Structure 1
């Protein structure tokens, strides 16, 4: 049965050679590929020519200058979703340019064909102290790496706390991993709420880990959330798939802001997990494991 094409949504900002490898591993007539290249990136769309011969590649314009932890990430994701929902797709997979698939496209499509209509989002427990940051207005939400902007944000927050002022009251916030695989219906629902998302998160910090889960949990789509402990048949898969978004992401060896960068020593982990994708990889740290994975998945490339 044909469940329709998949749309890969890629947030790219660095490492052109590695990005070309990712795109080549997604090249399949069953996939459309949508790429947002950060306006700060040292490369352009033309630098990706020749990566694909079977997929159609679309570059999202205008390019957004993306800042870590700011609403610009949310806006870039929305731009990708808006571009991709111009045509219906069975699934929309959000990846970064530093991710790689761990399975072949046949295996990936077979998995989603076996679980139609489910939303693959890794949700996290929501604590009140964590949601508090969405109740204070940030005049420079994309400026946390710029000292004057960071100071201004802190001053405004302190002033609001002093007088007891808050924004976004009465909203049931929820947290999740930024990376997802979602259905056409939920993708279109997210796009339809763009104005609301801008109103709520346009002047807050790190909305990329909140806006999708918040929409999910306050909509009927939450009933379609994939739970690996329930929806996987094999017991060994239930034990190995720790994330509902099917991504292998190792925070235990990472830092507060960045997950672990996989290396050659992780080969058995990478090839033994039932997860479909992994993040992250870095050609500067270990280019060999990237090349080895490429040959493992697509020997002809």
Structure 2
């Protein structure tokens, strides 16, 4: 690893809002950073050359595309495609992000933090991994991966009442499978963990994750509900790499260094969408990144973050 700089691969999952994707690239553009972008195959591909023009110092690589549905296996698959492509070049850290995320800190501050906390974990001699995780003890939360969740792709069907109907049927399926003692995890001795999909992991962890993708697909793949929130956490926490997880020590930082608000949600499975009313909270945050933003809903909070980094938002910029 370079003594002075941390080499970062920013792996971005995108499906719309290309203007905001371009802003994200400009904010993180740096000679120590490269971008790997997966665009959902379900959407019309944007102007690739226009997106590539946003980076002056970084390389931008677009990966093979697959269809991604909320809550389904496609999310894990897309993240693996990104990781597999980035590992070919090799980086100190791999940051999995969505195009709805923005950095709260500058490239210099991010670089400084990662260097200062590089060995801030219980392993003593291995680089730190940043992810959120918690032991799964709730039976229904466990059932998201231990049962067959056949109707998850239909949860966001419109109008909303139809999607809600499918959720009710899926819940009914939980009780039926519980009665029949269905347990897709009964043959594994792994302890189940859950956390956020978004992470910052080392080259060592990235290779471990890819090498164990078979087990990840077997237990957290098809017909699970948001298996992407279980797979890395469970695989890592059941290995020696569990000692490399960041010691946040309740210092106001989340394990994956993301500011995410799940207390003020809209009941659709998505976190709170930050607006200008959240400006003070975000400015005081110790975390490196935050999600979720949408410049089409509230451009002022995006402008505020960009201006903090010395930039400017062109509201009339094309998608």
- Tell me the equivalent position of 1:247: 258
1:268 alignment partner, SS class: helix
2:131 alignment partner, SS class: strand
- Tell me the equivalent position of 1:210: 230
- Tell me the equivalent position of 1:277: 289
Correspondence 1:29 to 2:41: no
Shift of 1:191: 0.7
Shift of 1:202: 1.9
Structure 1: runs of 5 or more not aligned:
231-237
Shift of 1:259: 1.3
2:197 alignment partner, SS class: strand
Distance 1:138 1:125 in 2: 21
Q: Which has the higher helix share?
A: 1
**Contact 1:25/1:298 (CA < 8 Å) preserved in 2?**
no
**Contact 2:303/2:312 (CA < 8 Å) preserved in 1?**
no
- Tell me the equivalent position of 2:277: 265
- Tell me the equivalent position of 2:206: 187
Structure 2: runs of 5 or more not aligned:
119-126, 314-319
**Distance verdict in 2 for CA 1:145–1:262, change over 3 Å:** closer
1:283 alignment partner, SS class: coil
**Distance verdict in 2 for CA 1:159–1:265, change over 3 Å:** closer
- Tell me the equivalent position of 1:233: none
- Tell me the equivalent position of 2:317: none
For the aligned residue pairs, the C-alpha RMSD in angstroms reads 2.4
- Tell me the equivalent position of 1:48: 51
Per mean C-alpha deviation after superposition, the further-off stretch among 116-125 and 136-145 is 136-145
Shift of 1:144: 4.0
Distance 2:221 2:265 in 1: 28
Q: 1:221-279 CA distances to partner (integer Å, 9 max, x unpaired)?
A: 1101112117xxxxxxx1x32x1111111112223412111111222221221111111
**Contact 1:102/1:278 (CA < 8 Å) preserved in 2?**
yes
Shift of 1:142: 3.8
**Contact 1:250/1:259 (CA < 8 Å) preserved in 2?**
yes
Distance 2:32 2:293 in 1: 25
**Contact 1:11/1:96 (CA < 8 Å) preserved in 2?**
yes
Shift of 1:154: 6.8
Q: How many residues align?
A: 291
Distance 1:42 1:283 in 2: 20
